[in-house]
Each structure stands twice: as structure tokens, then as C-alpha cells.
Amino acid sequence: MRAAAEGVRMALGAPVRLVRFPASLLAVMGTALILGIVASSAPLFLSAVGASALHAQVNETRAAFGGLIVTDEGPLTADRIAYRQRLLTRTTAPLRGLGAPTVTLLGTGATVASASHPGVTAPVQPLSRTGFGTNIQRLSGGGDDGIWLADTTARTIGVQPGDRVLLTSGDATVSARVAGTYRALSSIPLTPYWSAMYQYIWTRSKGDFVPLPPFAMTSQSQLLQLESASASSGLEMWDYPLTPNASLETAQRLGAQIRTVQASFADPRSTLGSGFVSASSGLLALLGRASSERTQLAGAVGALATAGLAVTLLTLALAGAYGYARRRSEFGGLRARGVGPIRAGGRAAIEAALPVAIGVAAGCALALGLFGALGTGPVTSQAMRSAVRWSAVAALVGIAVYAITVAATAVREPRSDRHRTRAGLRRTAARIPWEVPALAIAAAALWEIRHSGAGAVAGGPHVDRLVGLFPVLFVAALSGLAVRGLRRLLPRLRPGGSSTPWFLAVRRAAAAPATAGWLVTASAVAIGMLVYGGVLAASLQSASAAKGQVAIGSDVAVDVSSGTQLPRGSVLPATVVQRIPGVAVGPGEHSVDVLGVDPSTFARAAYWQGRFGGSLPGILNALTVPASAGSPVPVVVVNGNVPAQAHLETQGFSIPIRQVVNTSVFPGMSAGRTLIVANATALSRAMVAAGLTMDEAGDLPQIWARGDPATILPQLGAAGVPLSTDSVFGARITPVHTAAAEAQTSRLQAITWTLGYLRALGLLSALLALAGIALYLQTRQRARQVSFALASRMGLRANAYRTSVALELACMLGMAFVVGSAIAILAAALVVQPLDPLGSLPPGAQLALPLALFAEIALALGIVTLGSAWLVQQRASRANVAEVMRLAT
Amino acid sequence: MPPEEATAVAETTSSNDAASCKGLVKIYWTATGEVNALTGIDASFPEGAITAVVGPSGSGKSSLLRILAAIDRPTAGQVMIGGRDVSSLPAWRRRRVRRRVVGYMFQRPADNLIPYLNAYDHLVLAGRLRGGFDPNEADELLEVVGLTDRAKHRPHQMSGGEQQRLALASAAIGKPALVVADEPTAELDSGSGQALMELVRSLARRGVTFLSSTHDPIVAAAADRTLYLRHGALEAEADAERHQARALSVIDTAGRIQLPPGALRLFPGRRAVITVDEDGVRIDPP
């Protein structure tokens, strides 16, 4: 009985035994914390990415397109509106994920006139729309009392804020105060708030788009007062947006509910069906695309997460080996008493179970918190459950890895006991560096990326898992080889001069055990992953930005009407170009695009880099106007060739051209198409000579301008440039094309997300490497105390010793920094071309080095070096020299 | 081992022996070649006896002790512990032998003890590993080694002598067939060493068999018998005439042979003439 009680008492102490070994406990819990973060990160990341993709698509369209849009038409009376509002409130109350509606009431055509000069009228559309006050560019006035008029309307009727105007709709006329004026919506790019109303801002007339009467905006009560008097019919619209914090799961549930609600709206016998004209939603379509994006990222993210788990589990194994090293004599004694690997592993598992479980749970909780606070989008509860499940599995595997490591290390039989041939095989296998197979796999991955592409899958932003695995293997293998080489080189170094710290640092680094080499390699891999992710992301973003500008031609391109000219003497960085897509070049009927340029202004507005093929002014100088109208037009041929006697064939007419310059890149070109650039005047004259006008040839004039669209467009408008609206019904519902928008492809976003995840793992790896260095310093602390005690007896000052420790650490971390960065840059250079998200459009991707990132890493390493050196020295100084020397024997 | 040789070993092993070895050979393979640590040891260790193994460094004492403690396996020869042949047992079976029938003491007291266990817990752990902890035996052993009032103390609260006495009690608990001690007094002062050996004697009187390597005259004096090892061979406790006339040696894979230490005197110039004829091989000084 007493024996059993003693056994139970001892067993109860086992789960908390690591408390007696604080360094081991910290190592295990710290690694387990990161294990929890890594294990839970993949489902959380994918969930956040899915939600982010959904909201990005919602933002690209109309906020309510991702929610619910309900419309009706009829007399705009207070009772009628209130009844419908109640119906909708009751219907949408159970729909979680829908935000508060934007209610729009649009009256029928009205006129407005100044009360003091009623003879001059201007057409307006009375409008009430929730939140209009914060979505207009206010030019004068303020307050909610009264109506807001467009600047063009106010100018026409000659009113200012505070004046009274007469609003006439049908037979009814009401008087109202002018609250203020705003910039007419037809003169500026539409914001997402107004893009929903584009069909009430522009209309099509005779093939062109003309602005409709501006809105006279006022509050709902004032609008209802006006419309009640006129008793005319109007439009009612309720835009229910998808809430910005809606997760993909919430959106999916909402999509199903909306489908049910839409069925009720479609049933004319139902209350909803009889009360409203339509109820539409694009949520299901957007959900499909978002889910597809998430699925296509899953491979790469899963591979990275697996690599991260492997690294973390390896670190946990190192923590186990470290724990064994701290208790070597204990395990030696147990081995002598016949404790085998199963018992030793069992002990280790029991001891590690609680710390690992706590660490992993904390890591999982931290990941949940971090994704909630900093993630690209909200995560689903399903992802949270998945994260918890993966964390639990990781904890179990972590405990097993720790236990197996301890068992394998602690109870290993004496080497002499093994059979000779096995020892020989082991020795032979040990002679092959692990870097060789890793490098071979990395080379195979690189070959696959370069030959099969790493995501060039049509129809989706697929990112191959090799994109993440290649740098990990490549950087690890080459770093390992480099560190091996440097370790062999170090002993040959003869520190010059009489600097004792240098001498001690170099000697210590040269005599450092293999563990130090491993730590340098691990640090190099962590730094390498950070640098690889940073360099590649910067390079691809830079390349995409350049490609966007090449495709657009400049920072901004605005579609304008035919015959639009820049004001004479304008110094704005802008130019007018004539685009004629899909023109045949004969002989051969090769389809090309034609760009007519104004050589006098083109260079100041077009995007150009020296690497595109020489000087842009030099090229433009070659685009002269021929003396004779029938002479061939000198042209620049971009991305192709034309015969010597070539003609542009359009609408049955033939225009002779002559190639004077050939280049591969030119602003305004499209991917995979040949562009013919000509002087617009020469081209126009040649067409006229051939019996054709530019309009008839399908000319799409544009103004190209450099600078921020928000700044340059008002400047152009102020300079009197009429902005056309040819693309108002395009996907982005704006006549303005920007290079930034062109560069933001979903594939670039997918790669950027993947690289972001890689960098996050790199950061975690860096934390692991730092933990490893801390453990390394801890294990060597006794030796350092002895060496400091000896050195101080010989007169070495603490300051000099601290310097030597700092130099030693700087040597290790500096080596890791240089090796990791260099190899990562090389790795990025090898894959930057295949990863180019717009690969078919020049210019080719070039490496961009984010110097700020390098500076941040160097700063962090410096802080770690100095901080660690200070800590090591403090501990060495505090040690009892006599005790240290006695234990050292 | 051929059956006739096994029978011969069995005949030379007395039923009163706690352990014995016959023709024990141990070779280590290192990067520079083979090291013949033991070149053929025949010895037996009677129950309740204290045997000291002495010899210069590198003579093979530790190898012999490790093999007799079932920690290591011989390259050739037979080892009997507690009546069973352990020489060719796989690692897991030898571990069981160590657990059940062998006690082991390291040279450094700290290596024998677990820092976070108190004295009594050490005996609990050792007894449980032996297969059954008997609290009465633990109390009795603590009393024998004079640590009853230190039962709740941890190793760092004890002196080196007390730690080694506790290690002795841990090794002896559960009535093992053999307690092997590797220079147990090396880190103790003479008084503590003397006290430890007195305890060993008192435990031996209770039937515990001790085998200890040592350089310490106190241990050698306290032993019932002393084995002298030199160059991996026993110099004493053997028939001197037979030992000098016929000595078992090992020829390594390169054809090298290690001469018995006595024979070395015949070759002061370290040169030899080897004659191979139909009667055999002769090695003579030049």
C-alpha cells in the first residue's frame, strides 16, 4: 500500500517536472507557442483570404451588389415609403451580414429657378440618398437645411448658398433654400457610392454619352414634400450592402437566405412581390469567385504551412535534445539502471505534455487574435474550429517528436556495441551533406517552376506550392553549404592587430560546435525567407506597376470625345493620343493596334524607361509628317515587324506606312499584340488622303496624364478639357483608366498573399532561430563563465569581454544575414520571371531590392547581438568564480 | 559459441558465483584502427564477495565493468550474470538484466543522483525499476547507509560522501545479483572513502556481490580479492605458468597481434622475427 502510494506521488510530480528546468521549459513552451501559431495559421489565413477576396470584389463593383438591391417605382409619398420600409425591415432582419440600407428616392424631372430671377431655369433630378452629404465634393455652403445644387446648375440660374429657389415638378412648385453647391458628378470620376447611380448621371444619345440633368439633393422629408405636391411617380431603391466584417461563412449563409428571399420577391402573389419591382443580388456569383481564389491558394499555403510545421517540429526536437543535454547525467544514470527508450520517451512525453499543450493553445489563441486584429479579412468559425483541430494534432505530434528525440538521444547504446558494417554505412551516409539532397529537390522545383510556370493557370489566380517550397529548400541547402565552408575557413583566420576581443571572438567562433553552424544556417534560412518574400513581392509589384503604366500608357488615361485638344500652351503633363484597335497590316492581313501620338507633348506624359530601347524624344523625332499626303507615314513598330512596303488596311481603305524604328516596348501597347505608332497629324492626313476620317477608322481618343488621378483630373477639367464617358458602362464604371488599377490583377494579389504568408513564416522562423541562439548561449554559459573567470584573472576587463561576445554573435548573425540575403536574392532572381503575373506584357520583371527591409533586419540583428552580449556578460560577471572553477574541473 | 566450449564454461562456473566471464574479448573500432581493450578474460565473482579490479589507465577496467554490468556487449566470450548468459543478448534484454539484477555506481556522485529527487525518492525510483519497491527495505537501507535523517534531502543538500552512500543504497536496493562500481571513492576524501567501503562490506555480509574498479588502496584493501588488469589481460588471479605459456590474443583485420605484457620484455628493440612452418608460427627476437 505504501509502495503504491509512493509510486502515485512520484507519478503526480512528472507532468510539472520541467518547472525545475526553466530553460528547457521555456524552450519547449516557446517552440510550442510557435507550433500553435503555424498549425492554426493555414486555415485562418485561407479563411481570411477568402473573405478578403470577396470584399475586394464587392469593392470593385457596387457595395450592394454583394448584398441586396430592392427597387420599386411609384408615387413618392411618405405613407407608401414607410410601408415598404417596414416590409423590408421585417424581411431583412433575419439576414445576418447585411448592413444598413442606403435609401434612394429619385423624383421625376424637375426644373429649378432662382426665386429672384424665375425666368432662367435649369433641369434637375430631385434626389434623396442616405449619406449623400459626405459623398459629394462640396464647393460652397453647408448644413442640411435646403437643397444642394450642382455647380453647373447654380451657375446657370445664378444662385448661391442661402438664396431661395423654386423647384417645379409637373404642376407643383415649391420654394426651397440653397444649402450649398457641389461639383457636378458628370465632371469627375464616379466614386463607388455614386457608381450605383451611373444610369441617372449619364445617358446615351446618338451613339455618344451625354450627362443627364444634375441632381438636386435634399433630405428625404423635403423630397417627399416636393414629390407629394407633384404626385408624380419616382424611383425607390434600397441598397443593402454586405457588411465589411462579414466572413466567407457568413456570406455563404447570407447567399442562401437571399436566394430564398428573392423567390418571395419574384412571386407576384406575395406581399413582397406585389410591393416591389425587383430584388437583385450578385452575392452568389462573387462567392463562387472568392471560394475559387481561396481554393487555388490552398496548395501553396498548405505546402508552406507543412514546411513551417516541419521546421517547428525540428526545433521542438532540438529542444528535446537540449533538455537531454541539461540532464545528461540523470539519463546516463537511468540508462545504467536499465531504463530503455520506451520508458525514457514515456517520461519525456509526460513531462512535455503540459508545457506543449499550454504553448500550443497559447499559440492558437494568439493566431486567432492576430488574424482577428491584423488579418486581411474576417475568419469563419469553421476555420477557427479547423485551427483548433490542427493545433491539437500538432500538439500531439509535438509531444511525440519531443519524446522520441529524448528517447533516441538519451538511451542510445554505446557506439562500440553496434555492428561494424552498420557503423561503416552510417559513416558513409553521414559523409553526404544533407544539403545535397535538399539542393537536388530545390533544383527540381526550380525546373518545374521555370518550365511549367508557377501559377499560369487560366481562369484563376492559382499559385503553385513550389513557389513556397523552392526558396525554403534552396536557401536552406545553399546556406548550409556556405556555413560549412565558412566554418572551415574560420580556423585559418588570424585576427590582425592586438585586439583581444577580436582574437577571442574569432577563436571562439572557429571552435564553436556543430550546433553553432546549425544555428547560423537556421538564422540564414529565416532571414532568407524574409528577404525572398520581400524581394519577390517588391519586384512583382514594381513590375506590375510598370506593366500597368505601359498598358495604360501613362499614370492615367481618360477617354475623350473626338477632336478633343489640350488647351493651347498647356503645361500640364498630358497628351492626346488616338487609339485605333484591330487594324490589318497588309500584305498579310496581320492585325495590329495603331496609336497616333502628338510628338510635341507625348514625351512629357507617356511612361518611359531607358531600358525600353533608347531615347523617347529620339524615337518621336523619327515620326515626321511627310511632305506629300500620299507618301508612306513613318511609324514605330512595336513587338513585331511589318514588310518594307506595308499598308494599314481599314474600312476598305489603304494607308501606306514605312517602319523607321522597331522596338519591343512602347507605352499603350497590349500584351501579345503589335502596335504601330505614328504621328497623329501625319496619320490623319494620310487617312484623309485615302478618303477616310479618323472617326470612321474607329479612333478612340484619350488623354494621357502623369500624376495622381484625384489631382490631375480636376486640373484637366479646370483647364477646359471636356471629359468623355465612353467607358461609363465598362466593368469599373468610370471613364478613367489608371495604371494602378491595371496592375492590380487577382494573380498578383494571390502571389502577394502567398508571399506575405511566407514572410510571416519567415518571421516565426526568425523567432525560432533567436530562441535557438538563446539556448545555445545558455548551454555554453558554463564554459563562458570559466573563460571569463580565467580571462579576468589575466586582467581582461568586462567591457572587452562583452565586446568579444558581441563580435562573436555579430560574426554568427552577420554570416547568417549575408548568406541568407545573398541566396534569397539569387532565389528570387531565378523565379521572378516565371512568377510575373503579367508575363506576356513587357517590360520583363526585374529584381527590386527593398532596402528598408534589409535595414530593418540589420537593425534587429544589431539589437539582438548587443542585447545578448550584455546579458551574457552580466551573467558571467555575477557568477561565483570559485564555484565556477570547481564545477569546471 | 560452440557447444563443447559452452559446456566447458558451464563447468568452470560455480553455482555460488554471482557472475562470471570466460574468454572475454572486447575490441573497439576507431578511426585509427582497432583497439583491443580486453584480450581474453576468465574470471568469476562469488556471491557476497567484494572484488576489486585494479590496473593502469587504459588497461581495460572500465570495459570489463561495463560488460559485467550488461551495459556493453563483448566482442567475444561469455558473460554470466545471476546464472544467465548475457553476452549475446540484444540491447532490450540486456536493459532488463540491468534493471533486475545489476546495480551500477558511477565515479562522480552527481552522475548517480537525480537533482530533483530526495534521498527517499531515489530509493523509490530504483526499487520500482527493480520490479517492486519495498518501503521497509528502503528504510532499512537508509539506516544502513546512515541517511535516515536525510531522507527528505535532495542531492545538492548533501555532502559528496552522503551522495555516494545514497548511490550505493540505490544500487543495492532490490537485492541485485551484482553491484558494479566504477571507482566509487575517486571523488571522496579518505575518510568518506573508508566509510563507504565499510558500508560496502556490511552490505556484502548481507549477500550483495560487489565488483569495483579502483586506483584507491582503501578499496583494494577492503576487497576480498583483487584482479590486476594490464593491456586487457589479467596479470594475477590466474595460473602464472599457464598464463605466460599460453595467452589468448586477438589478431585484428590488418593482421596485427598484441603480445602479452610479459612477452614484451623479450623484445627490447621492438623488432621480431616471425617464422611460419608446419608446426605453427613462432615469434622470436632478432
DSSP secondary structure of A302-343 = HHHHHHHHHHHHHHHHHHHHHHHHHTHHHHHHHHHTT--HHH
Residues in chain B with CB shorter than 8 Å from the CB of A17 are 116
Q: Which of B25, B67, B100, B125 to mutate to test the interface with A (most CBs of A within 10 A)?
A: B125
* pLDDT band at residue A880 using 50, 70 and 90 as cut-offs: low
Q: Strand, helix or coil at A646?
A: strand
pLDDT at position A125 is 93
**What is residue A712's predicted lDDT score, i.e. its pLDDT?**
77
**Is the pLDDT confidence value at A249 over 70?**
yes
Is A830's pLDDT higher than 70?
Answer: yes
Question: Which of B64, B72, B93, B114 should one mutate to test binding to chain A, selecting the residue with the greatest count of A CBs within 10 A?
Answer: B114
Distances in Å between the Cα of A483 and the Cα atoms of A250, A475, A524, A747 are 50, 12, 9, 36
Q: In degrees rounded to 5, what are phi and psi of residue A364? A: -65, -45
DSSP, collapsed to helix, strand or coil, labels residue A562 as: coil
**Residue at B286: amino acid letter:** P
Average pLDDT over every residue of B174-196: 87
| Overall average pLDDT of the A385-412 stretch | 88
* Rounded percentage of chain A residues whose pLDDT exceeds 70: 86
Q: What residues of chain A lie within 8 A of the CB of B98, using their CB?
A: 336-338
Q: Nearest to residue A260, comparing CAs of A283, A287, A237, A235?
A: A283
Query: Is pLDDT at B2 greater than 70 in this prediction?
Result: no
Which residue bears the cell 560452440?
B2
Give the list of residues 6+ apart from residue A844 with CB closer than 8 angstroms, or none: A543, A833, A836
pLDDT of A311 reads 78
Query: Which residues have a Cβ under 8 Å from the Cβ of A194 and sit 6 or more positions away?
Result: A135, A185, A201
Number of helical (H) and strand (E) elements in chain B, helices listed first: 11, 12
Question: Within chain A, how many helices (H) and strands (E) appear?
Answer: 27, 22
* pLDDT at residue A769 is higher than 90: no
> What's residue A879's pLDDT?
63
Contacts with A431 from chain B: Cβ below 8 Å: none
The Cα A417–Cα A467 span in angstroms is: 46
Residue A213 gets the label, from left (phi > 0), alpha (psi -120 to 50) or beta, of beta
CB neighbourhood size of A21 (10 A): 18
In this prediction, residue B167 has a pLDDT band, given cuts at 50, 70 and 90, of very high
Please give the residue of chain A at the shortest CA–CA distance from B170: A337
Question: In the structure, what pLDDT confidence band is assigned to residue B242 with cuts at 50, 70 and 90?
Answer: very low
pLDDT reported for residue B37:
87
Q: What residues in A contact B132, CB-CB < 8 Å?
A: 3
B-interface mutation test, from A1, A2, A337, A342, most B Cβ less than 10 A away:
A337
Of A47-56, A621-630, B49-58, B62-71, minimum mean pLDDT range: A621-630
B22 touches chain A (CB under 8 A): no
Which residue of chain B has the CA closest to A339? B95
DSSP E strands, A520-610: 556-559, 574-586, 590-597
Whole-number average pLDDT of chain B? 82
If pLDDT is split at 50, 70 and 90, which confidence band does A410 have? confident
Nearest to A182, CA basis, from A144, A239, A218, A137: A137
User: pLDDT confidence of A463, banded at 50, 70, 90?
Assistant: low
DSSP codes, A699-714: -EEEEEE-S-HHHHHH
Let me know: does A299 contact A464? Beta carbons within 8 Å: yes
Packed helices B190-205 and B135-144: angle between N→C axes, nearest 10 degrees: 140
- B203 closest CA partner among B235, B238, B168, B233: B168
Question: Residue B73 and residue A10: Cβ atoms within 8 Å?
Answer: no
* Alpha carbon distance A128, A107 (integer Å): 9
With 80 as the cut, is the pLDDT of residue A421 above it? no
Residue of B nearest to A333 (CA): B112
Higher pLDDT, A189 or A658: A658
State residue A357's pLDDT score. 95
Shortest Cα distance, chain B CAs vs residue A330, angstroms: 5
Separation in Å, CA of B32 to nearest CA in chain A? 14
Nearest CB to B95: which of A330, A332, A338?
A: A338
B126 touches chain A (CB under 8 A): yes
- Using CA atoms, how far apart are residues A879 and A602, in angstroms rounded to an integer? 75
Q: Do A329 and B111 touch (CB under 8 A)?
A: yes
pLDDT per residue over A430-442, tens digit each?
667 778 888 888 8
Residue of A nearest to B181 (CA): A336
Contact A338 B91 (CB under 8 A): no
Q: Which of A353, A778, A13 is nearest to B116 (CA)?
A: A13
Size of interface A-B (CB pairs under 8 A): 72
The alpha carbon torsion through A515, A517, A519, A522 (nearest 10 deg) reads -130
Q: Please give the average per-residue pLDDT across B186-196, as a whole number.
A: 84
- Asked if A338's CB is within 8 angstroms of B100's CB, the reply is yes
What is the overall mean pLDDT for chain A? Answer: 80
The alpha carbon of residue A3 is apart from the nearest alpha carbon of chain B, in Å, by: 6
By the CB < 8 Å criterion, does B154 face chain A? no
pLDDT at A465: 66
Of A137-141, A507-511, A543-547, A762-766, which range is least confident? Answer: A507-511
Give which of A574, A661, A654, A567 is closest to A621, Cα–Cα: A661
* Cα A756–Cα A760–Cα A763 angle in degrees, nearest 5: 135
Least confident of A181-190, B150-159, B246-255: B246-255
pLDDT band, residue A417 (cuts 50/70/90): very low
Q: What is the pLDDT of residues A482-521, one digit of tens each?
A: 888 877 777 676 655 557 777 777 777 777 767 777 778 8
Buried b (16+ CB within 10 A) or exposed e, A309-337: bebbbbbbbbbbbbbbebbebbbebbbbb
- Predicted local confidence at residue A205, as pLDDT: 65
Phi-psi region of A698 (alpha: psi -120 to 50; beta: other; left: phi over 0): left
Residue A428: what pLDDT?
Answer: 64
Residues A727-733: what's their mean pLDDT? 35
Query: Worst-scoring range by mean pLDDT, A144-158, A160-174, A773-787, B108-122?
Result: A773-787
Asked if residue A52 has pLDDT above 50, the reply is yes
Higher pLDDT, B279 or B228: B228
CA of A421: which chain B residue's CA is closest? Answer: B29
**Per-residue confidence (pLDDT) for residue B65, from 0 to 100:** 92
B166 touches chain A (CB under 8 A): no
B98, A329: Cβ pair inside 8 Å? no
Q: Using pLDDT thresholds of 50, 70 and 90, give the confidence band for residue B7.
A: very low
For residue A458, pLDDT over 50 is answered with no
- pLDDT over 70 (residue B240): no
Lowest mean pLDDT among A163-177, A278-292, B109-123: A278-292
Mean of the pLDDT values across residues B253-273?
Answer: 75
CA distances from B173 to A10, A540, B140 (A): 18, 72, 10
Contacts of A332 in chain B (CB under 8 A): 106, 111
Task: Please answer yes or no on whether B108 and A336 come within 8 Å at the CB atom.
Answer: no
Q: Show residues of chain A in contact with B72, CB under 8 Å.
A: 414, 416-417
Interface touch B132/A3, C-beta < 8 Å: yes
Amino acid type, A322: Y
Considering CB atoms only, which of A7, A330, A420 is closest to B128? Answer: A7
On whether any CB of chain A is under 8 Å from the CB of B29, the answer is: yes
| Closest in B104, B108, B132 to A337, CB measured | B104
User: Which residue in chain A has the smallest CA separation from B179?
Assistant: A337
- CB spacing of B71 vs A6 below 8 angstroms: no
CB A258 within 8 A of CB A95: yes
pLDDT band with cut points at 50, 70 and 90 for residue A420: very low
pLDDT for the residue A375:
64
Q: Which range has the worst mean pLDDT, A62-66, A111-115, A185-189, A753-757? A: A62-66
- Residue A215 clears pLDDT 90, i.e. is over it: yes
Distance from CA of B102 to the nearest CA of A (A): 8
Higher-pLDDT residue of A36, A492: A36
Q: How distant is the alpha carbon of residue A369 from its chain centre? A: 20
- Please state the separation of Cα A171 from the chain's center in Å: 56
From A556, A536, A643, select the one nearest A592 (Cα to Cα): A643
pLDDT in tens, A73-129: 888 888 888 888 998 999 888 888 888 889 999 988 789 999 888 888 999 999 999
The mean pLDDT of B268-285, rounded to a whole number, is 84
Q: Does B111 contact A at CB distance below 8 Å?
A: yes
Grid coordinates representing A754 are 502567398
Cβ distance of A338 and B96 shorter than 8 Å: yes
Instruction: Grade residue A741 by pLDDT with cuts at 50, 70 and 90.
Output: confident
What confidence tens digit (pLDDT) does each residue in A570-609 have?
777 888 888 888 888 877 777 888 999 988 888 888 888 8
Which of B64, B65, B67, B98 is the mutation pick for testing A, counting most A CBs within 10 A? B98
Min mean pLDDT across A20-29, A274-283, A447-456 is at: A447-456
Does the pLDDT value for residue A212 go beyond 90? no
> Mind telling me how many Å the CA of A396 is from chain B's nearest CA?
26
Query: CB contact, 8 Å: B97 with chain A?
Result: yes
* CB of B156 less than 8 A from some CB of A: no
Backbone φ and ψ of B32, nearest 5°: -95, 0
**How large is the average pLDDT for residues A149-168?**
91
Q: Give the lowest-confidence range in A156-165, A320-329, A731-740, B194-203.
A: A731-740
User: What stretches of chain B show up as alpha helix (H) in DSSP?
Assistant: 3-12, 61-68, 91-101, 109-112, 119-130, 135-144, 160-172, 190-205, 217-222, 240-245, 261-264
C-alpha cell, A541: 509589384
